[in-house]
């Protein structure tokens, strides 16, 4: 006897028709745009890069999906271009992350390793950790709970 799987879904609030919005650029960010609705502005998939304690820290912000990945990739390439660098990718400010986000992580890790560097991943979100597990990437990346933990590990590697 066959089994039937019934799935009932309500439309996500994400897909509801929103009031009038306006897309604007975010100063100091790389890739992505922002949506301004009334007085509120929130990012849609962008990265911010900074140097902290000798490491390149790349924060992923907003929703990291197919649209964001296409905008982020050139900026991610620029941020991972230097040889022998330690790169910390921080997913703490990320609100949504799917397979395209995994693709960006793998791309960044490959580029950093090809240039003799080291990539650390900060991921405190249980849902993103589930995406990493589903993609069988927990062995490739060892997610750390905080940026501070990654920077301590990076510093200890750099000093000896």
> Model confidence over 95-152: pLDDT tens digits?
999 999 999 999 999 999 999 999 999 999 999 999 999 999 999 999 999 999 999 9
In angstroms, the CA 62 to CA 64 distance is 6
| Helical segments of 7-83, H only | 66-79
Give the predicted TM-score (pTM) of the model.
Answer: 0.73
* Mean pLDDT rounded to a whole number for the chain: 80
In angstroms, the CA 72 to CA 128 distance is 18
């Amino acid at each position: 006897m066959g089994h039937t799987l019934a799935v009932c879904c309500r439309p996500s609030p994400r897909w509801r028709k929103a009031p009038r919005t306006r897309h604007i650029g975010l100063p100091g960010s790389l890739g992505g745009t922002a949506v301004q609705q009334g007085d509120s502005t929130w990012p849609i998939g962008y990265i911010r890069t900074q140097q902290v304690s000798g490491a390149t820290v790349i924060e992923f912000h907003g929703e990291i999906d197919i649209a964001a990945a296409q905008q982020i990739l050139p900026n991610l390439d620029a941020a991972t271009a230097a040889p022998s660098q330690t790169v910390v990718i921080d997913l703490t400010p990320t609100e949504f992350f799917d397979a395209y986000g995994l693709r960006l992580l793998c791309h960044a890790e490959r580029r950093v390793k090809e240039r003799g560097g080291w990539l650390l991943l900060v991921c405190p979100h249980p849902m993103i950790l589930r995406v990493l597990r589903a993609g069988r990437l927990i062995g490739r990346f060892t997610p750390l709970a905080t940026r501070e933990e990654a920077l301590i590990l990076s510093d200890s590697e750099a000093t000896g």
